[in-house]
Amino acid sequence: MAIVLSPVREKIMLYALMALQFTVIVDFMIMMPLSAQLLDAFNIGTTEFGLLVSAYSLSACVSSLLASGYSDRFDRKYALVACYIGLIIATFGCAISDSYNWLLISRVVAGFFGGIVGSLVLATIGDVIEPRRRGYAMGIVMLAFSLAAIFGVPLGLWISAHYHWQTPFLVLTVACIFILAICWFCLPNVREHLDQPKQSMVQSYMGLLSVPNHWWGFLTTMLVMFGGFLVIPYIAPTLVANGGMLEKDLTFVYLVGGAVTLVSRPYIAKLTDKFRHANVFLVLVIVSFIPIMLMSFSLNIPLYGHLLISALFFIFVSGRFIPTSAMVTASCEPKFRGRVMAFNSAMQNLGSGLAAFVGGMILIKADSGEILNYPWVGALSIVVGLISIVIARKIKPVS
């Protein structure tokens, strides 16, 4: 039974969770546009940078799998606060990193706690908000994704351009401490789930993975993330090194990209509800190939041309995740849904982590500073997209 909160306290809780989720997303996203500075600061190549991105995602994958088996054994509030403190410590570790290895360790720790925080936010909403109003609650919290792209990442880029690449992490650490205090006072204790029968992790996953339909959903999710993150982490360094863009102008790429998704995502969501999920997915994947290839060629064109390509990239590449999530949600019976979504989150992180590493292995930084082989990365992303279309057609909606 959902916990009853007053309308005012409920709204405060939701906006606090949104703020918390905002910082988690910014903590993950900010590494990618900082790539140009990090390559120079540590004198590293694309392979080492890909490892920085993939370390966060792969660590989050591991923690998501553990969380799906153990997070139900603790009060949601205390578990969320404890994991958020871990994320704050790791973010501060990034802020004081003076070597590549120290930064890599900090990103592993940040990914571990960041992966758990995201699942705990969703679990808290599920426990506190009654079913008929969860869509409204999720809508508020999910604003964090667009706000991170519109405000968080551009602001971080502006700060790093005027100070140092470490400064955004320091500012983020201070913001997280402030949000932690708010969450401590406004989040309710959530303990009702502690009375439910517990399954071991092995029993839980045996039941989950015994359904073939779940596998097709998980594989589709991983392929979609893999195809996207082959390209995404290297947008910033290739635009600077190959496309002739100034580092200070990268802010506009993420600002415009985030802004257009505020309009496109609700529209894509309506199309996903109106038509068969797999058909919407098919169209979006095919159309997304255009901005993927344009982006991977890093054309030396005026700023407005880069912004147009970036807008198309954000609309269609990120838009693919909407019908993907709908297909996965519909692929399972209600009794499996919690475990399916937790495991699916792990597959998202696995796909993005592996892709960032593979992309970094393919790319080569020439002595001239130019980054080579990016069109081949774009071509591989398209091949993965075609495979995801075939796999997605095998998912059968059951709920």
Are residue 190 and residue 206 in the same domain, yes or no?
no
Are residue 350 and residue 236 in the same domain, yes or no?
yes
- pLDDT (0 to 100) of residue 240: 83
- pLDDT (0 to 100) of residue 1: 46
Total number of domains constituting the chain: 2
Say which residue the tokens 């097709």 belong to: 216
The answer to whether the CB of 236 falls within 8 A of the CB of 35 is: yes
Residues with pLDDT less than 70, the chain: 1-6, 67-75, 122-123, 126-127, 129-139, 142, 189-204, 207-208, 333-339, 341, 399
Asked if residue 398 belongs to a domain, the reply is no
- Supply angle C-alpha 63, 66, 70, rounded to 5: 130
Are residue 88 and residue 124 in the same domain, yes or no?
yes
Domain C-terminal end among 195, 214, 248: 195
- pLDDT (0 to 100) of residue 191: 59
Give the CATH number of the domain where residue 241 resides: 1.20.1250.20
- pLDDT (0 to 100) of residue 18: 85
Are residue 260 and residue 158 in the same domain, yes or no?
no
Output the pTM of the full model: 0.77
Are residue 41 and residue 58 in the same domain, yes or no?
yes
- Supply angle C-alpha 87, 98, 88, rounded to 5: 10
Are residue 222 and residue 153 in the same domain, yes or no?
no
Asked if residue 233 belongs to a domain, the reply is yes
Give 18's contacts (C-beta < 8 A, 6+ positions apart).
140, 141, 143, 144, 147
Are residue 205 and residue 180 in the same domain, yes or no?
no
Q: What is the domain extent for residue 120? A: 9-195
Asked if residue 212 belongs to a domain, the reply is yes
Are residue 69 and residue 178 in the same domain, yes or no?
yes
Asked if residue 19 belongs to a domain, the reply is yes
SS3 per-residue string spanning the chain: CCCCCCHHHHHHHHHHHHHHHHHHHHHHHCCCCCHHHHHHHCCCCHHHHHHHHHHHHHHHHHHHHHHHHHHHHCCHHHHHHHHHHHHHHHHHHHHCCCCHHHHHHHHHHHHHHHHHHHHHHHHHHHHHCCHHHHHHHHHHHHHHHHHHHHHHHHHHHHHHHHCCCCHHHHHHHHHHHHHHHHHHHHCCCCCHHHHCCCCCHHHHHHHHHCCHHHHHHHHHHHHHHHHHHCCHHHHHHHHHHCCCCCHHHHHHHHHHHHHHHHHHHHHHHHHHHHCCHHHHHHHHHHHHHHHHHHHHCCCCCCHHHHHHHHHHHHHHHHHCHHHHHHHHHHCCCHHHHHHHHHHHHHHHHHHHHHHHHHHHHHCEECCCCCEECHHHHHHHHHHHHHHHHHHHCCCCCCC
Asked if residue 3 belongs to a domain, the reply is no
Helix (H) or strand (E) holding 365: strand 364-365
Are residue 211 and residue 134 in the same domain, yes or no?
no
Asked if residue 68 belongs to a domain, the reply is yes
Domain C-terminal end among 177, 195, 213: 195
Are residue 169 and residue 89 in the same domain, yes or no?
yes
The pLDDT tens digits of the residues spanning 236-276 come to 888 888 888 887 788 888 888 888 887 887 788 778 778 88
Asked if residue 126 belongs to a domain, the reply is yes
Are residue 113 and residue 168 in the same domain, yes or no?
yes
Are residue 114 and residue 180 in the same domain, yes or no?
yes
Domain C-terminal end among 195, 220, 251: 195
Asked if residue 399 belongs to a domain, the reply is no
